[in-house]
Structure 1
Amino acid sequence: MMDSTYSGNNPIIQGATAEKLLNLRERLDFNFLFRSSAEFPSGSSNQASIKLNEARIELKGDITQDLSFRIRYRLYRSFEANSLDNAPSAVDHASVTYRFGQEKKWHLTAGKQAANVGSWEFDTNPTFEYQYSDYVARQLNLFLLAMELGYEVTDNHSIQLQLHNTYNQGFNTVFTSTGYAKNGLEPAKVPFGLYVTWLGNMFDDRWQAFYSYNVSQFAEDKTDHAVSIANKVVLDRFHAYLDVQSTYLAVDYPNIGSPAVNELLASSPAFTPTFLEDINYRSAILRVDYEFIPKWFITAKGFYETASHRKDNSDIGDDFREHYGYWAGLEYKPVADQDMRLFTYYYYNTSRYNNAVEGINADQKLHLFAIGVLYFVNIL
């Protein structure tokens, strides 16, 4: 008997009937996520272009009543495997979920999955999130290999524990890619992290809470801590979320604040750049969406983020890097029953430096005007 992988001529559904295909359609979701825009920037870049902002395909569904799966690919990312998790950056999700226990209130999810961090900015479907804060775009390890255990306390409240790789790339790969000195740092023997998360829905889902705490290790004997608090208001024609977070990193492996400090120290004899230690990142992100007349939406978002050096006697100090920005835009939904929108928005962000690093690092600014189309397509 030949294995089913021997020949590509084996049909996926043996003896498919209309009844079986209908049942399959009810159990599967096949989605295409798309956004493209003409962008006209000024500041750090002055070259206009038509860009593919989003192109992802997703397949998810129920294999049995208790077992489900999810697969999602980013069509514009590398398929080269990461050095630690052996998964390509193009894969957002590749996981299975098993529901068990009395009334199936428990679940276990294993595989590549989203970080269970309290962030509505990250939780929003990426088709509709035009620009991200540094917290989501640069600081977080967004999609990671993990095992999540969850329990539905009530219909409106659940808790999850997610054991995950701290970072998708290995310790040595990260240092090699930046060319930084290790300065005595060694890779953590168990480079894992743990998210503890609460999701809550109150007042008939009008107020939704998403809170998390994370503890992790990237380098041996260097422990990181993070708290994220996200709240969302959902009304008939008005949506808004506010995300607030604070992260202490013993080693700045996201490399957001370190370049500014390395620039300051570069003039010292025999200086070799390295990751800054004992750094605190904080951010606040607010977004509002309002359907002011049928099919027409106003969308706006703003964020403010800081980086501080917590080491004793440091002249780098609090808020040595500030990053803030906003967008304001207009959306039109031409087809009422389709998640398709024509959009335009103006976006501005800037990074500025304070304290000892102020005179060495130039402020960075970006102005951007965009016009385009997005479409979240439920194909099946």
Structure 2
Amino acid sequence: MKKYYIYLMIGLMPIIAIGQDRDKQAGGGGLMNTDSIKSLIPEVRQKLLKDVDVIFNTRMGYDSHIYDGSHEYSNFAMNQLRFEIKGKIHDKVSFRFRNRYTREPIPGNLDNISRSVDLAFLKFDLSPRTQLSFGKLCADWGGYEFDFNPIDIMAYNDVIEYADNFLMGAGIAHSLGNGNHSLSFQVLNSRTKTFEEQYGASAPPNVNPSEYPLAFVTNWRGKFFGGKFETTWSYSLFNEADGSHMDYFALGNKYKAKNFVLYYDFQYSNEGLDNKGIVSSIISSEYPYAAQDVLYVENWLRAEYLVAPKVTLLLSVFNSNHSWKGNPDPNASSKLSTSYGLIPTIEYMPFKDMNLRFFVGYIARKYDYTNYAENAFGVKDYTTGQFSIGIVAPLLVL
């Protein structure tokens, strides 16, 4: 197809040259008379483009990887590249599409859309305060870790890292009073894959797939003290299988001062069947099935301090606790492991009118197993590290 475009341009070149020559003869000084030129894009569609944004969400850099204190390898990498287009196509209808180019485009056999597609939905304004969304949505979980643009997170805590965060479904959101509070409710698929694809041979013999693998998500967002303190709290019920569901609480809190912002998230995921797979991977040497009755409890803290007009210091600290409450051994401890994370980062923004930042950061992770887990399943503590230097930017190209 490209060669036909080339042939077309070659064919048009004489016509363009003749047009320029005529313009010179008419005293145009070698410049074409732009008043006589018609746009290739119809005026109606130009109006649509005024309300459309095209964005390349980008994080790229040079990474050095460390395991248990020893350097493994260093490489250049495109850590994030998500193409996004969003905007209004009607006074009361808008759309958003975002595709991730750092994930394999494998369609989920439950929702029939590639897992590389984060978002693909339409939003309808039912009233100035009420919106209805339908399509592949971002699960409206509470917590600010998941609210961030993914390019601004160097590493996620375990629950969000291993969860299906973008799911097909429908949602409604409503702003209350003076706009300081809002409520939302979503009905989504509970995962992107069918039960058989998700668990396969690891499905416990006594667990059967549900006819309605759905999730129900409620969220409350609030602003207090003139916007200095904000919250995003949610509760979600996921129907994983017959007799097995997941209760998920996410409580996000944000405090904002002049040059300082502090975030704190608490996550609690009580799962009848191990959706995240972390506990199942720990016990896999002795137990061939997905773990039942597991619990993940997390804390996430992030501080941002603007030390100079163009320089920001960031620090993220987090931990995740993994427990197997359904352990058939009555004398065993339910807790199996805890993971820890520490991410100090420096960002430099050279341009006032463009959100492009140079960054230097380090991701330190530690995975600490209980004595019981080490003795029963042969797992061992380990640490990982990643030093990164690069560029992060949501590149607005239209």
1:33-72 to structure 2, matched below 5 A, reads 33-43=57-67, 46-72=72-98
Residue number in structure 2 paired with 1:278: 293
Deviation at 1:95, TM superposition (A): 0.2
**Structure 1 unmatched runs, 5+:** 1-12, 266-271
Q: Which amino acid aligns with 2:345?
A: G
1:207 maps to 2:229 = yes
Counterparts of 1:229 and 1:175, CA distance in 2: 29
Q: Secondary structure at the match of 2:141?
A: coil
Alignment correspondent of 1:10 = none
Q: Give per-residue Cα distances to partners, 1:118-168, cap 9 Å, x unaligned.
A: 121111011211111112111x22111011011111211110111011111
> Are 1:315 and 1:356, in contact at CA under 8 Å, matched by a contact in 2?
no
Q: Number of paired residues?
A: 354
- What's the TM-score, normalizing by structure 2? 0.85
Q: Distance in 2 between matches of 1:316 and 1:114?
A: 38
Distance in 1 (alpha carbons) for counterparts of 2:104 and 2:265: 30
> Pairwise mapping of residues 149-298 of structure 1 onto structure 2 (< 5 A)?
149-154=172-177, 155-176=179-200, 179-263=201-285, 265=286, 273-298=288-313
Q: Secondary structure at the match of 1:121?
A: coil
- Structure 2 residue identity aligned to 1:204: G
Q: Distance in 1 between matches of 2:51 and 2:331?
A: 59
Q: Distance in 2 between matches of 1:97 and 1:125?
A: 20
**Match for residue 346 of structure 2 among 330, 337, 340:** 330
- Write the distance in 1 (CA, Å) between the matches of 2:104 and 2:203: 27
- One of 10, 24, 32 as aligned partner of 2:56: 32
Structure 1 position 201, deviation (Å): 1.7
Matched, 1:135 2:150: no
Identity of aligned residues (%): 25
Structure 1: how far apart are the matches of 2:145 and 2:109?
28
Query: CA–CA distance in 2 between the matches of 1:39 and 1:282?
Result: 30
Q: How far, CA to CA, are the matches of 1:315 and 1:230 in structure 2? A: 36
Residue identity matched to 1:375: A
Aligned to 1:146: 169
Tell me how far apart the structure 1 counterparts of residues 249 and 371 of structure 2 sit (CA, whole Å): 26
Q: Report the CA distance between 1:315 and its aligned residue.
A: 4.0
Contact 2:317 2:343 (8 Å CA) reproduced? yes
Label 1:296 to 1:69 Cα distance change in 2 as closer, same or farther (>3 A).
same
**1:30-86 per-position Cα deviation (integer Å, ceiling 9, x unaligned):** 111111111111116712111111111111111222111101111122222111111
Pairwise CA distance, 1:363 = 1.0
**Cα offset for 1:372?**
0.8
Distance 1:275 1:377 in 2: 41
The Cα of 1:15 is off from its aligned counterpart by: 6.1
Q: Quote the residue 2:12 is aligned against.
A: none
CA contact (8 A) 2:364 2:386 kept: yes
| RMSD across aligned positions (CA) | 1.8
Q: Say if 1:40 and 1:94 are closer, same or farther in 2 by CA, change over 3 A.
A: same
Q: Distance in 1 between matches of 2:154 and 2:341?
A: 13
Shift of 1:26: 3.1
Correspondence for 1:87: 113
Q: Equivalent of 2:368, from 352, 356, 362? A: 352
Give yes or no for contact 1:309–1:316 (8 Å, CA) kept in 2.
no
Q: Which residue of 1 aligns with 2:392?
A: 374
SS at match of 1:361: coil
CA-CA distance at 1:241 after TM superposition? 0.8
Query: For residues 314 and 145 of structure 1, do their structure 2 counterparts lie closer, same or farther at Cα, with a shift above 3 Å needed?
Result: farther
Offset, 1:309: 2.0
CA contact (8 A) 2:51 2:87 kept: yes
Contact 1:211 1:228 in 2 (8 A): yes
Who wins on radius of gyration, i.e. which is larger? 2
As a proportion of its length, which structure holds more helix? 2
Distance in 1, matches of 2:64 and 2:256, equals 32
**SS of residue paired to 1:85:** coil
Cα distance in structure 1, aligned partners of 2:331 and 2:78: 43
Unaligned runs of 5+ in 2: 1-38
Please say if residues 130 and 175 of structure 2, whose CA atoms lie closer than 8 Å, have aligned partners that are also in contact. Answer: yes
| Closer, same or farther: CA 336–54 of 1 in aligned 2, 3 Å | same
Q: 1:97 aligns with which of 99, 113, 123?
A: 123
Cα distance change of structure 1 residues 46 and 131 upon mapping to structure 2, 3 Å threshold: same
Q: Flag the 1:198–1:137 CA change in 2: closer, same or farther, 3 A.
A: same
Separation in structure 1 between the aligned mates of residue 42 and residue 355 of structure 2, nearest angstrom: 31
**Structure 1 residues 356, 374: CA separation in 2 closer, same or farther (over 3 Å shift)?**
same
Q: Which residue of 1 aligns with 2:4?
A: none
Cα distance in 2 between the residues matched to 1:146 and 1:53? 28
CA distance in 2, matches of 1:150, 1:94: 17
**TM-score, scaled to structure 1:** 0.89
Q: Which amino acid aligns with 1:323?
A: S
- Rounded to whole Å, the distance in 2 between the matches of 1:60 and 1:314 is 54
Q: Distance between the aligned counterparts of 1:221 and 1:279, measured in 2?
A: 14
CA distance in 1, matches of 2:169, 2:226: 31
Q: 1:337 to 1:198 in 2, by over 3 A?
A: same
Whether the 8 Å CA contact 1:316–1:357 is kept in 2: the answer is no
